[in-house]
Amino acid sequence: MRNLWMIVSGLAVVVAIGGAVYYFFPKQPMNPEVSSAAPLAPPSGSSVLVVPASNPLLTADKAQLEQWVSLYPIRCGEIVFEKVDAKSRNFNFCVGEIRRRVTHDTGTAINREEVLDANVRAHWRSVMGSK
């Protein structure tokens, strides 16, 4: 019985340490290929969505959003971008965590309003394929 207890408790410690490492040490940012080509001008007569350069969440791809919006231990994407309930238990934590991760990876500090922007919510939903 004692051997079984030692195995179970050892497994629990390994899982706890692995979860902590996964949560507190996010993946390193990917370095996108730098293109030397000049940006293409939009065709005449078409409308162009102008995205402010100061908010990296508006231009993030799926890998970046997965890195910045935590899925473990709390599903911050659902809390902040789907339910959008400021009274939710972990809402403030999730917004702060998104801000911290974006600032850490990009060097661009964003504020709470930029995280909660409707354009960011729409971009997250379209990239992540949610409702």
Judged by average pLDDT, the poorest of 53-57, 75-79, 93-97 is: 53-57
Q: Does a structural domain hold residue 85?
A: yes
Q: Which residue has the tokens 């354009």?
A: 119
Q: Does a structural domain hold residue 2?
A: no
Task: Count structural domains, the chain.
Answer: 1
Q: Does a structural domain hold residue 67?
A: yes
Q: Does a structural domain hold residue 83?
A: yes
Q: Does a structural domain hold residue 105?
A: yes
Q: 69 in helix, strand or coil? A: coil
pTM of the model: 0.57
Q: Does a structural domain hold residue 93?
A: yes
Measured between alpha carbons, how far is residue 34 from residues 38, 62, 68, 76 in Å? 11, 19, 22, 31
Q: Is pLDDT above 50 for 71? A: yes
| Cα atoms found within 13 Å of the Cα of residue 103, Cβ hemisphere only | 12
CA 99 to chain centre: 9
Domain, as residue range, for 91? 53-128
Tens-digit pLDDT profile for residues 2-47 = 888 889 999 899 888 887 777 776 665 555 554 444 555 555 665 5
| Stretch 72-95: mean pLDDT | 83
Q: Does a structural domain hold residue 62?
A: yes
Contacts of 111 (CB under 8 A, 6+ apart): 99
Q: Does a structural domain hold residue 96?
A: yes
Q: What is the structure's pLDDT at 40?
A: 56
